[in-house]
Chains A and B, each alone.
Chain A
Amino acid sequence: MSEQADIERTDIERTAAEIRAQPLLSARGITKYFGNDGGMFSKASAPIRAVEGVDLDIASGEVLGVVGESGSGKSTLGRLVLRLIEPTSGTVSFDGKDLCSLQTGEMRRFRRHMQMIFQDPFSSLNARMTIGDALVEPIALHLGLRGQAARDAAVGVLERVGLHADHMKRYPRMFSGGQRQRIAIARALASSPRFIVADEPVSALDVSVQAEVINLLQQLQKELGLTLMFISHDLSVVEVITDRVMVLYLGRVMELAPTESLYGNPAHPYTAALLQAAPGMTSVKKHILKGEIPSPANPPSGCVFRTRCPFAIDACAHTVPALRPVGPDHLKACIRDDIEL
């Protein structure tokens, strides 16, 4: 608990310099290729380039949104920063510590600081464990509490998410989808983590329940000063909850900006297209993006978005555009500045 006290979120509007000066979590050139290099029974195939050279800093107390279509690498990125999967290359550090250098045992102890919430509360809870047992487990493991003390702590987190002590003896099947997601959140909170990756936490829920869970996440984030990575394909949900947003396409960062400037003034053609495609986001529908996201096993040369980009020129095929600043704390990976989105 002591760590939590010193993370206090004093000011919501942090400057870019502050974020960069003291990130809680940072990743450098993180890359993940899936696939086989050939073995006894299978031929080597082109690897799936799920995440390619992503740099990322999340300040303490910040909520970073990660958006993109399926296959953009957003879930892989979430798993990489928690070291649930090993990166092909690149580094992740948490509070100054290089996660990839930690031994298995050390990593396991370190996990209490970083937790995850999954999309589907029907499959992320063990059907044969009571809610109480499911909560006591991480509390015993990470906080070393036993017996009544552990149970009291479990009731504590359960109450934090709007459930109560009566629910401890029940099984997941006795709860609705929204309640299950609350339980999943309680479980993530049980070890008093500082950083949580929420991977599509409201996508499986009905809209009325979705609003409830978003409000809860927001409230918990403020009360506990949590640092959140919020992964979602739903742009309207991301706008509500995040401070900054990263837009991914085929494993690369297309744009990274404070939420307001990204939604109000998108700088990358892909972001603009996403906002226009999302129902209810803009009344302007200038162009519907043609085609589909290419295979990550064989991404286009140069800018990966160029095959669907209405503004692509020859030069886009030759160079991989670097992320460069276009405004305060606003970065884009597009070589063109002469386009009107």
Chain B
Amino acid sequence: MPLTEQAVETAARRPVLSVQNLKTHFMTDAGVIKAVNGVSLSVGEGETLAVVGESGSGKSVTGLTVMRLLGRTTARVVGGSIEFVDRDGKAIDLLNLSDMGMEKVRGHDIAMIFQDPMSSLNPVFTIGNQIAEPIRIHQGFGKKEARAKALDLLRQVGISDPESRIDSYPHQLSGGMRQRVMIAIALACDPRLLIADEPTTALDVTIQAQIMALLKQLQAERNMAMIFVTHDLKLVDEIADRVAVMYASQVVEEGPVDQVLGHPRHPYTKALLECIPSRRDAQGERRQLHPIPGTLPNPLSPPSGCRFHPRCGFAADICIASDPELEAVASDHVTRCLRWQEVAL
């Protein structure tokens, strides 16, 4: 895929967002949950970075930390930095931005869409109202102009006959249409970065295909950076240029999609790929699924050394004793495995 190389180059030149060594911890009665523990990510203009992992891996918390949407009483960012480059090319330190400053960024420069469009839309306002709100707040348009822009956005996200839909309430729309409305709200102010957190998980497969195509098209038109958070490796293949695989609060492998999914260099990525039911092999035989032995570690007391060692088929003594760092296996591909050179995946 020549596009990937191009995108990686673009990212290296102009990262829109770069997260370094981020640590988000939750203070609970039972102890400290290190939900995000040393995560580094970056995404450039026109590029899509997929963040993939199972439940509890920290993928959503990473997105929410970037948006600063976590409650301050329980969630603390205890380390790292988040740098965002705004549309004038000015770098902003999101973690040290005032609440007022963050409000100007959120929904304007960085937008987010969530899994469940019913609970993220306000049930007592019309969708027209909700799409117009960010336009009026961030761009200072009047009521009439904002409504005209909202109509145009509804058209862009593929809602037919927007004039008759704009005054509908969320409950009057289907799940697929609600997600389109969410996308319209997110894109209202032409954000530089869109964070999509499992945007198609609640949708039927035919509607999922529609939303995926829509996201891809809108992103290309606007040259937007996108972080696509998902549990589904099959979607990663369809939409992303690069992918970061998360396990137990850390990125364990990151690189171009065809590299990571085609030639994984971390045992967890490989194991995850073998869990996916796929088409039969060339002989028409059903492929045996290989579940990952064991269970996800308890977030309150993760294992020592490599987090994956208790479930890893390649674990050696060294994996229990020392913490692996991300190592480069190629110029644009990293893995957090001490034994990546020895093990044949």
Contacts and interface: CB of A to CB of B under 8 A. Distances in A.
Interface of A: 69-70, 176, 178, 206-212, 214-215, 233-237, 239-240, 260, 263, 273-274, 276-281, 285, 288-290, 292-293
Contact of B291 (A70, A208, A289): A208
Contacts of B279: 236, 239, 263, 281
B277 interface: yes
A222 to B, nearest CB: 12
Interface stretch (B42-50, B146-154, B230-238): B230-238
Contacts of B207: 69, 292
* Category for how many chain B residues contact A: 35 or more
A281 B54 CA distance: 21
A116 to B, nearest CB: 22
A270 B258 CA distance: 30
Contact of A69 (B204, B238, B278): B204
A207 B54 contact: yes
Contacts of A239: 277, 279-280
Given A207-B231, A277-B206, A240 B176 contact: no
B75 to A, nearest CB: 23
B289 A280 contact: no
B2 interface: no
Contacts of A236: 234, 276-279
A214 B207 CA distance: 26
B278 A211 contact: no
Interface string B284-298: 101111111001100
A178 B278 CA distance: 21
Given A236-B276, A279-B237, A279-B238, A211 B206 contact: no
B272 interface: yes
A290 B176 CA distance: 11
A208 B292 contact: yes
B124 interface: no
A208 B272 contact: yes
Contacts of B280: 239, 260
B275 A279 contact: no
Given A207-B272, A260-B284, A280 B278 contact: yes
A273 B209 CA distance: 10
Interface of B: 54-55, 174, 176-177, 204-210, 212-213, 231-235, 237-238, 271-272, 274-280, 284, 286-292, 295-296
A235 B276 contact: no
Contacts of A292: 174, 176-177, 206-207
A208 B205 contact: no
Name the residue in A277, A279, A285, A290 with the highest tally of chain B Cβ atoms < 10 Å from its Cβ.
Answer: A279
Contact of B206 (A206, A210, A273, A285): A273
Given A208-B271, A280-B237, A280-B278, A69 B291 contact: no
B295 A176 contact: yes
B289 A215 contact: yes
A211 B278 CA distance: 11
A210 B54 CA distance: 11
6 contacts: A206-B54, A210-B275, A211-B290, A240-B277, A240-B289, A285-B209
Nearest to B52: A207
Contacts of B176: 292
Contacts of A208: 54, 271-272, 275, 291-292
A236 B213 CA distance: 20
A211 B291 contact: yes
Name the residue in A209, A214, A274, A276 with the highest tally of chain B Cβ atoms < 10 Å from its Cβ.
Answer: A209
A1 B176 CA distance: 48
Contacts of B174: 292
